[in-house]
């Protein structure tokens, strides 16, 4: 898929990942349309799926116990989680970012505080004694506990709760994935981000270690749609054009 972006914005100094959210929306729509057409041409490959809406913190337990056959919720692949469940082949790589109310931040270009409020935040190092909002059971939860043991870490059931915690002042900052956060900031102009995305990790679907058959079938299906050009895993940039390739 090639698209023209008038003002490309990059994630990271190497400029190998495009950060424009409109590009993400476009490619997602193209992917969804292509997957739908592929199933219409290959109906025997389809399976009936029952969706169950669960709290993020209960997903791994659900698939491990057999309550769910497969879990999907932008799940980061980590060594710790690999001990509990099996993962499909990765389908995307996503970074992490910290956000806060703008009046708690210092402008990175001028180093001038946006307000006279105390305990202003200028970098990730300033989080060591702050109140940090995270999703319970997420990699952001583990990251905060590991790197900021002196901070007060508040665990929430979902991203909307983390967002409310930041906006209400119950926490000083929130931690969330960089892609979804970019969309959130579009409609919450009172929020800002701290530094660039970090802790990039692959995303994948999760399966029980006791259901190797389904795990294998899914990976075979996933390989098929990638080989047929339906899926595109990595983003390559060339001038103002974006091309997706495996």
The predicted structure's pLDDT at residue 84: 94
The pTM for the full model equals 0.64
3-state SS of the chain?
Answer: CEEECCCCCEECCCCCEECCHHHHHHHHHHHHHHHHHHHHHCHHHCCCCCCCCCCHHHHHHHHHHCCCCEEEEEEECCHHHHCCCEECCCCEEEEEEEEEEHHHEECCCCCCECCCCCCCECCHHHHHHCEEEEECCCHHHHHHHHHCCCCEEEEECCHHHHHHHHHHCCCCEEEEEHHHHHHHHHHCCCEEEEEEEEEEEEEEEEECCCCHHHHHHHHHHHHHHHHCCCCCCEEEEECCEEEEEC
- pLDDT at residue 238, as a whole number: 28
Give the model's pLDDT for residue 82.
94
Please list the pLDDT of the chain residue by residue as tens digits (246 residues).
Answer: 666 777 777 665 555 667 777 777 777 777 778 777 877 887 777 677 788 888 888 999 999 999 999 998 889 999 999 999 999 999 888 899 999 999 988 754 445 555 555 568 989 999 999 999 999 989 999 999 999 999 999 999 889 999 999 999 999 999 999 988 998 999 999 999 999 999 898 999 999 999 999 999 999 988 887 777 655 543 332 223 332 222
**How big is the chain by its Cα radius of gyration, in Å?**
20
Contacts of 3 (CB under 8 A, 6+ apart): 23, 26, 27, 241, 242
Q: What is the pLDDT of residue 1?
A: 60
Distance, CA of 15 to CA of 238 (rounded, Å): 10
* The pLDDT of residue 87: 96
According to the model, what pLDDT value does residue 212 have? 93
Report strand pairing: 152-156 vs 131-135: parallel
């Amino acid at each position: 898929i090639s698209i023209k972006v008038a003002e490309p914005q990059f994630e990271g100094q190497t400029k190998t990942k495009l950060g424009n959210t409109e590009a993400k929306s476009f490619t997602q729509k193209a992917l969804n349309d292509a997957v739908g057409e592929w199933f219409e041409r290959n109906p025997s490959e389809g399976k009936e799926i029952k969706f169950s809406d669960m709290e993020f913190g209960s997903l791994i337990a659900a698939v491990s116990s057999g309550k769910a056959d497969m879990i999907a919720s932008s799940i980061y692949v980590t060594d710790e989680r690999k001990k509990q469940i099996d993962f499909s082949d990765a389908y995307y790589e996503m970074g992490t970012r910290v956000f806060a109310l703008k009046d708690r931040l210092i402008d990175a270009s001028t180093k001038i505080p946006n307000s006279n409020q105390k305990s202003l935040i200028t970098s990730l190092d300033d989080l060591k004694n702050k109140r940090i909002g995270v999703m319970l059971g997420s990699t952001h939860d583990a990251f905060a506990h590991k790197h900021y043991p002196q901070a007060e870490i508040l665990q929430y059931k979902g991203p909307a709760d983390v967002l409310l915690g930041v906006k209400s002042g119950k926490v000083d900052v929130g931690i969330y994935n960089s892609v979804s956060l970019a969309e959130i900031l579009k409609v919450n102009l009172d929020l800002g981000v701290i530094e660039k995305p970090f802790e990039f990790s692959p995303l994948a679907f999760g399966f029980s270690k006791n259901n190797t058959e389904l795990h294998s079938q899914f990976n075979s299906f996933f390989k098929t749609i990638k080989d047929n050009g339906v899926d595109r895993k990595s983003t390559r940039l060339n001038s103002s054009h974006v091309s997706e390739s495996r």
